Amino acid sequence: MLKLFSERPNIPLFSEATKGHELHFTMDLVTVLLSVVVILFLVNTFRNQKQGNDKNFPPGPKPLPIIGNIHIMDIGKPHITFMQLAEKYGTVFSFRIGMSKSIILCGYETIKDALINHAELFSERPNIPLFSEATKGHGVIFSTGENWKAMRRFTLSTLRDYGMGRRTIEDKITEESEYLIHKLKSYEGKAFDNITSIYAAVTNIIVSILLSKRFDYEDPTILRLMGLVNENVKLLSSPWVVLYNCFPLLAKLLPGAHKTIFENTKEFHNFIIRTFTKQKKELDVNDQRNLIDAYLAKQREGKAENIKFFNNDNLISLVGDLFGAGMETTSTTLRWGILLMMKYPEIQKKVQNEIERVIGSAQPQMEHRKEMPYTDAVIHEIQRFGDIAPAAVPHATSQDVTFRGYFIPKKVQNEIERVIGSAQPQMEHRKEMPYTDAVIHEIQRFGDIAPAAVPHATSQDGATVIALIHSALRDKDYFEKPEEFYPGHFLDSAGNFKKNEAFIPFSIGKRSCAGETLAKMEIFIFFTSLLQNFTFHPPPGAKLDLLLLPWGQQMLPTLMKSVLYLADRL
Ligand code: HEM
């Protein structure tokens, strides 16, 4: 997406310092870094003046030059910092991460007002340098405009189609839960780390939709793919990623977690390319087997819209998005479920009693859920308490907006993406791209130094909008005991299941999770199948202190790395 602006120009000073390859920590590099810092300082000072001119910009902590408010942010748990700031600044406030402005929306009412009542305005994504570089604006999660609409439509309809096909997704989850139980039984009640089996079981569901196959839990391919996604998710909360997102040109010169993320993404994308190249050869449009086949069939149709959007780049990123989103979130939720059942054995027992009464030894199915209010309430509470995507994925406004009396400037959309999308750039595009044209002129006027500062400065204008899901799931106006694990949040006095509108772990509005139905099915069937077969408890001497565990990271969290579980047969 930001390719034009994020490629490194041949600036003699930089080239000399890096020799085009590795970094050498010489005096030259120090000079380069100092120069960059000075440029950033000037840009920042200019921006601060500009921000002061933005009428009614939401209040927030005073930013320092260059770093903004990073010094007061808990990098691993920014949602906790935001909750504290909301006490002082209210439910709509501003926060500066480096030179990028963010508006934080706190509390269910505020989030609903933005994402539902003003849905059209708040459904864009900002340019986040790390994701822009990794996806180049393709796929569904981080894409924008018409490209996003086409990819989202395709995703929703294809996920629906595969749920209603001959072998429904529910059947596949049921079958996979049998493999999972078989695997856990093989531990014979000894302590084990559940991470690989749970991840593999959940991954097999999305893999069946994408590629119509399943992997054994020890298969090196699935282990490698899961490892790549998992490592990337963990690295998202690294300070290197924050540095990259604030100062991409500077961070590109340095080694660090961002480089690992790009390498992992490349390896993952290569796997996808190999897979769809093979599928292309076998494709029968009249007998589509999976999501990749459905996509390739769209390419074959040759309609104008399909030619524009259904290109290989979008396919690679879309499959990567669905694999990552489909695997990480659901398995993390299930692992929270097991952990909480160990922590609260009396709740685990009540769920098992309900399973015994309603399902007995039959295979759990979605239709059982309506007769199982207690289990349903426990699953909702696991998702509320686990809170695995506390800040959702950042949003942006599609135009300048006045929201609840505050002015939120539009985050300037990348002109290349708006005009060219993922098509091949051609000279005729130039007349619709005044900004890019101006930048190219400016590059020529300034020589090689300008591209480092000018394009990125403009892409930082406007504001990123963070809908703090965490604040809705902990909203004391909606939940009686927000900090406790309390299934009663979802039960009425007669023990019936009770909906709560502030329960929004999948977010709400036009950007809400595209896999919500699938995820709910997986969580219900895997969770009930596990508790039908096992009672989970910690190994002797293990301390289960929930507060010692990470509560999630910037986007998608990983947790419970080191806790082992004992699963005795019932
Ligand atoms: C417990 C499981 C899951 C949770 C809690 C979850 C949560 C979320 C959240 C909070 C978002 C961001 C929404 C926003 O920007 O406002 C999201 C987006 C998304 N999720 Fe999920 N998700 C889960 C499972 C899945 C699964 C299984 C899939 C796919 C098969 C999936 C696919 C997606 C996609 C494609 C998006 C991007 C939507 C867009 O930008 O239009 N998710 N999810």
pLDDT at residue 5, rounded to an integer? 35
The DSSP symbol for 192 reads: B
Q: Tell me, using a 6 A CB cutoff, whether residue 394 lines ligand 1.
A: no
SS3 213: coil
Compute the distance between CA of residue 351 and CA of residue 375 in angstroms, rounded to an integer: 5
CA–centroid distance, residue 513 to ligand 1 (Å): 3
Contact 472, 107 (CB under 8 A): yes
CA contacts within 13 A on the Cβ side of 289:
12
Beta bridge partners of 93: 104
Give the helix/strand (H/E) hosting 134: helix 129-135
Ligand 1 atom 20: residue of nearest CA:
513
SS3 105: strand
Residue with tokens 């059942």: 341
Ligand 1 atom 43: residue of nearest CA:
513
Q: Which of 112, 69, 75 is nearest to 89 (CA)?
A: 69
CA–centroid distance, residue 505 to ligand 1 (Å): 9
Count H helices and E strands in the chain, helices first: 23, 8
CA–centroid distance, residue 155 to ligand 1 (Å): 12
pLDDT at residue 565, rounded to an integer? 56
CA contacts within 13 A on the Cβ side of 379:
24
CA–centroid distance, residue 506 to ligand 1 (Å): 6
Q: Tell me, using a 6 A CB cutoff, whether residue 208 lines ligand 1.
A: no
Compute the distance between CA of residue 178 and CA of residue 284 in angstroms, rounded to an integer: 31
CA–centroid distance, residue 342 to ligand 1 (Å): 27
Q: Tell me, using a 6 A CB cutoff, whether residue 264 lines ligand 1.
A: no
pLDDT at residue 4, rounded to an integer? 35
Compute the distance between CA of residue 170 and CA of residue 38 in angstroms, rounded to an integer: 58
- Residue type at 428? E
ipTM surpassing 0.85:
yes
Compute the distance between CA of residue 511 and CA of residue 115 in angstroms, rounded to an integer: 8
**563: phi then psi, degrees, rounded to nearest 5:** -85, 130
Distances (CA, A) of 182 to 185, 187, 301: 5, 9, 43
Contact 214, 204 (CB under 8 A): yes
First to last CA, the chain: 53
Compute the distance between CA of residue 559 and CA of residue 179 in angstroms, rounded to an integer: 24
Q: Tell me, using a 6 A CB cutoff, whether residue 124 lines ligand 1.
A: no
Q: Which of 155, 138, 152, 144 is nearest to 294 (CA)?
A: 155
CA–centroid distance, residue 515 to ligand 1 (Å): 6
Q: Tell me, using a 6 A CB cutoff, whether residue 391 lines ligand 1.
A: no
Q: Tell me, using a 6 A CB cutoff, whether residue 473 lines ligand 1.
A: no
User: Which residue out of 383, 468, 513 has the highest number of ligand 1 atoms within 8 Å of its CB and is therefore the one to mutate?
Assistant: 513
CA–centroid distance, residue 46 to ligand 1 (Å): 37
Distances (CA, A) of 173 to 315, 360, 471, 512: 25, 19, 32, 23
CA–centroid distance, residue 228 to ligand 1 (Å): 19
pLDDT at residue 569, rounded to an integer? 45
What is the full per-residue pLDDT of the chain (570 aa) written as tens digits? Answer: 333 333 333 433 334 434 444 334 344 555 555 565 555 555 555 555 454 456 789 999 999 988 899 999 987 788 999 999 999 999 999 999 888 889 999 999 999 999 999 999 999 999 888 888 888 889 999 999 999 999 999 999 999 887 645 458 899 999 999 999 999 989 888 888 788 899 999 999 999 999 989 999 999 999 999 999 989 988 887 888 888 888 888 888 888 899 999 999 999 999 999 999 999 999 999 999 999 999 999 999 888 878 889 999 999 999 999 999 989 899 999 999 998 998 899 999 999 999 999 999 999 999 999 999 999 999 999 999 999 999 889 999 988 899 999 998 886 455 665 556 545 677 777 766 766 777 777 677 666 543 333 232 223 357 899 999 999 999 999 999 999 999 999 999 999 999 999 999 999 999 999 999 999 999 999 999 999 999 988 877 777 767 544 433 322 223 333 344 555 544
Q: Tell me, using a 6 A CB cutoff, whether residue 205 lines ligand 1.
A: no
Residues 6+ apart with CB under 8 A from 424: none
Q: Per DSSP, which regions of 348-405 are E strands?
A: 395-396, 401-403
Tokens of 69: 């408010």
Ligand 1 atom 32: residue of nearest CA:
515
Q: Tell me, using a 6 A CB cutoff, whether residue 61 lines ligand 1.
A: no
Q: Tell me, using a 6 A CB cutoff, whether residue 389 lines ligand 1.
A: yes
b/e burial code for range 53-72 (CB count within 10 A of at least 16 → b):
ebeebbebbebeebbbbbee
Ligand 1 atom 40: residue of nearest CA:
141
CA–centroid distance, residue 420 to ligand 1 (Å): 27
Contact 353, 304 (CB under 8 A): no
Atom of ligand 1 nearest to the CA of 389: 10
Residue with tokens 């501003």: 94
Q: Tell me, using a 6 A CB cutoff, whether residue 326 lines ligand 1.
A: yes
